[in-house]
Structure 1
Amino acid sequence: MTNTEAEDEESIDTHAVTEPLRVGVVGGGFIGTTVGGQFREHDDARVAALVDVDETTLEVAGAELDVDADARYTEYETMLEAEPLDAVLIGTPHTLHYEQVLAAIDRDLHVLCDKPLTTDLERARELVELDREREEVLMVGYQRHLYEGFRRARELWATEGREPSWITAEVGQDWVDRFEGTWRRDPALSGGGYLYDTGSHLLDCVLWSTGLTPEAVSASMNFVDDERRVDGRATVTIRFTNGATASFSMSGEVPCMREHVRMWDREGAVALDSRDWESSEYVEIDADSGEYRPRMRTEDRQTKADAFVEAISTGSEPPATALDGLRVTAVTEAAYESARGDGSFVAVAPDNVSR
């Protein structure tokens, strides 16, 4: 072996020996245990600490994630001060995200934050600016960025000469009855209703797949509370700067989950359909040659933890960025403003949504 070969082999070995990413899980509910479980099973990560305000949840989730009793906390700041972490997974109610992301940024930690990034436009803009100034990863938990169907749609609309002009999207589930009495129907914690919960994913997948820039938003909503803060159904229209329109219909008052998205231009369309939270089926429609249904490799799809660790280890951009989160918050806040008013179009400032 030459000296150069020996030096190359030593370099490779040195880079291969890395410590697992030490992740602190914030919130022991569905996101904390599901995505936290992905970190627990990951070769290059481990759940080092857990925080939840509820003692019972803390005990159950701690056992499920194999977190030692002395690394379980009821206060977020205490965990950050006590534990030598590399990253945090934030799976708490929506309105808590901003303060928790900000505290992690202040400590130079990588952050995987469940959607939405925030429920406040100015705060979302602040996090985007902070994210641009640092090297650590801030990823938002919009999982459709990992689905092959939406990735294919994004590639198609990035093709020269292709740009959607008419978009329809709908999603429904048994949300209103299922989450009665929970934080999801408490606007102090959720920031709104069905639009800020499952509806957030639908807005995001269209914005991300098309790459279009929203210009104005109009909405009507059926509110389930007297204060008109929690919507059970929402109809949202987005006008884009290229003249395209997107119509969204979202209902939390139907018996089962279904999602349907159609994006058309002059040559054809893409159609994406999902049921019961499975990966979306994908069809390309050509005006001349008919339909094309490629085989979807769902078994190869990255988990959120996979994508997050990869972005950190390679220094690459995560699948869903803080700017993606800002774009969704800007549209969502405009929709609530329109629906609580007279339904007129509300302008979306370019600096909130431009890439």
Structure 2
Amino acid sequence: MALEDAFDDFTRRDWAETTVDGTVRLAIVGIGGFARNRALPGIAAGEYCETTVLVTGSPDRARTIAEEFDVNHVIDYDAFRAGDHAETYDAVYVATPNATHGEYAIAAAEHGKHVLCEKPLETTVERAEEIVDTCRDNGVALMTAYRLQTEPVVRRTRELVQNGAIGTVVQVHGAFSHPLLEHTGPETWRLDPDLAGGGALVDLGVYPLNTTRYLLGCEPTAVYATTHSSGGPFAAVDEHVAFQLEFSTDATASCTASFDAHASSQLELVGTNGKIAIASPFGGVVPQDIVVESGEMRMEYTGPPVDEVREEFDYFGYCVLTDTDPEPDGADGVADLHAIEAAYESAETGRRIDLE
């Protein structure tokens, strides 16, 4: 693969191997800020999904949202669990707090509905595995919402790595910080360890963690992590985290995440024969700005931003319509939780933790 060929048709959807008709009808479970501001518009702008049901704790307050997005049915969580209006949707998108993912994903699967579940898949490996088992036993698709795996610049980067454009990857550097309290109050569920399952590592660090695993195509063998919290609103969770992953290929990934730092995201892969740098990969709308150095050649691509949320829902819908197993599946979500649990163990004990 010539390096310049990597930039041809850069935003192509290589996962769409055939043309399909129809849409997947979705029930959106939990209509918090991300669902309202990103998911619902992304679904409306896409090709393969449509929203037919909203599930919320406050149906009356959601009527305006339903009207805005032309959604016919609004129900509460009890009604969802009971299967009300189940005939009006084919799949669910679970966007509730992390510790409740299992409850709603399992209910959906038992109603025979496909599941797209936000990450992390749950708050523990055991609870995530229960989701995986239930979806398998009921014959429904399960996708963990790792939207970066559907995003063009990340998919092109994986192709470059697989084709040896930068030699063997030796180092990965990933960072994601987001000043949480500039966008929400201290009462947010993200600062409640019982609902979130952790802090900056679970909410932000999972992005470089999963993306590194995806790009390298292998699992970490060990992790070492440190966490820090300044108290106050962050007293119960990790405000800042730094973790290092080791891989069987001898590559290492050094990653950081923060709830209380200037908004920033970056990802760089350094190989034996070059490097790849992606500008702002984790911010939600990736600017399609990538620099590749391969031997003596240096190339840069800058293209129009792509809404990775739209890409994610179209990918999920395409998989359901074509009976294709999604690549970021339940096992992908479980693997990240293994690494997250080991990272927290490392931070608590001060030891490097081996992963099976």
Q: TM-score range by the shorter chain?
A: 0.7 to 0.9
**Which of the numbers 264, 279, 292 marks the counterpart of 1:284?**
292
Match of 1:63 in 2: 67
User: How far apart are residue 16 of structure 1 and its match?
Assistant: 7.6
User: How far apart are residue 73 of structure 1 and its match?
Assistant: 1.7
**TM-score scaled by structure 1?**
0.83
- Pair 1:200-2:200 in alignment: no
Residues 171 and 165 of structure 1, relative CA distance in 2, 3 Å threshold:
same
Distance (whole Å) between structure 1 residues aligned to residue 176 and residue 48 of structure 2:
35
**Which of the numbers 166, 171, 178 marks the counterpart of 2:176?**
171
Preserved CA contact (<8 Å) 1:51 1:58: no
**TM-score scaled by structure 2?**
0.83
Match of 1:4 in 2: none
Distance (whole Å) between structure 2 residues aligned to residue 138 and residue 39 of structure 1:
18
- Alignment deviations for residues 135-183 of structure 1 (CA, whole Å, 9 cap, x no partner): 4321122121122221122112223694312111111121255442211
Preserved CA contact (<8 Å) 1:140 1:321: yes
Number of residue-to-residue matches in the alignment: 329
Distance (whole Å) between structure 1 residues aligned to residue 178 and residue 20 of structure 2:
45
Match of 2:103 in 1: 99
Which SS does the other structure have where 1:284 is aligned?
strand
User: How far apart are residue 310 of structure 1 and its match?
Assistant: 0.7
Preserved CA contact (<8 Å) 1:137 1:317: yes
**Which of the numbers 270, 276, 293 marks the counterpart of 1:270?**
276
Residues 300 and 54 of structure 1, relative CA distance in 2, 3 Å threshold:
closer
Give the letter aligned to residue 75 of structure 2.
Answer: Y
Preserved CA contact (<8 Å) 1:25 1:91: yes
Match of 1:232 in 2: 239
Distance (whole Å) between structure 2 residues aligned to residue 244 and residue 77 of structure 1:
48
Match of 1:3 in 2: none
Residues 157 and 274 of structure 1, relative CA distance in 2, 3 Å threshold:
same
Distance (whole Å) between structure 2 residues aligned to residue 114 and residue 195 of structure 1:
15
| RMSD between superposed Cα atoms in Å | 2.7
**Which of the numbers 316, 333, 343 marks the counterpart of 2:324?**
316
User: How far apart are residue 93 of structure 1 and its match?
Assistant: 0.7
User: How far apart are residue 88 of structure 1 and its match?
Assistant: 0.7
Give the letter aligned to residue 145 of structure 1.
Answer: Q
Match of 2:355 in 1: 348
Please tell me whether Structure 1 or Structure 2 has the larger radius of gyration of its CA atoms. Answer: 1
Q: How does 1:146-185 map to 2 (within 5 A)?
A: 146-159=150-163, 162-176=167-181, 178-179=183-184, 180-185=186-191
Q: Identify the structure with bigger relative contact order (alpha carbons < 8 Å, sequence gap 6+).
A: 2
Give the letter aligned to residue 227 of structure 2.
Answer: M
Residues 298 and 193 of structure 1, relative CA distance in 2, 3 Å threshold:
same
Which SS does the other structure have where 1:253 is aligned?
coil
Preserved CA contact (<8 Å) 1:173 1:252: yes
Give the letter aligned to residue 338 of structure 2.
Answer: A
- Pair 1:28-2:34 in alignment: no
- Pair 1:48-2:55 in alignment: no
Residues 272 and 211 of structure 1, relative CA distance in 2, 3 Å threshold:
same
Match of 2:345 in 1: 337
Mark the runs of 5 or more structure 1 residues left unpaired by the alignment: 1-14, 350-355
Q: How does 1:186-265 map to 2 (within 5 A)?
A: 186-225=192-231, 229-255=236-262, 257-265=263-271
Which SS does the other structure have where 1:82 is aligned?
coil
Match of 1:353 in 2: none
Mark the runs of 5 or more structure 2 residues left unpaired by the alignment: 1-18
Give the letter aligned to residue 170 of structure 1.
Answer: A
Distance (whole Å) between structure 2 residues aligned to residue 291 and residue 224 of structure 1:
42
Which SS does the other structure have where 1:151 is aligned?
helix
Give the letter aligned to residue 168 of structure 2.
Answer: E
- Alignment deviations for residues 234-277 of structure 1 (CA, whole Å, 9 cap, x no partner): 0001111222211111122123x211111112111111121854
Identity %: 26
Preserved CA contact (<8 Å) 2:20 2:318: no
Structure 1 runs (4+) greater than 6 angstroms displaced = none
Match of 1:114 in 2: 118
Which SS does the other structure have where 2:160 is aligned?
helix
User: How far apart are residue 110 of structure 1 and its match?
Assistant: 1.0
Give the letter aligned to residue 329 of structure 2.
Answer: T
Preserved CA contact (<8 Å) 1:168 1:263: yes
Preserved CA contact (<8 Å) 1:216 1:348: yes
Match of 2:76 in 1: 74
Which SS does the other structure have where 2:83 is aligned?
helix
Distance (whole Å) between structure 2 residues aligned to residue 128 and residue 81 of structure 1:
20
Match of 2:6 in 1: none
Preserved CA contact (<8 Å) 1:238 1:246: yes
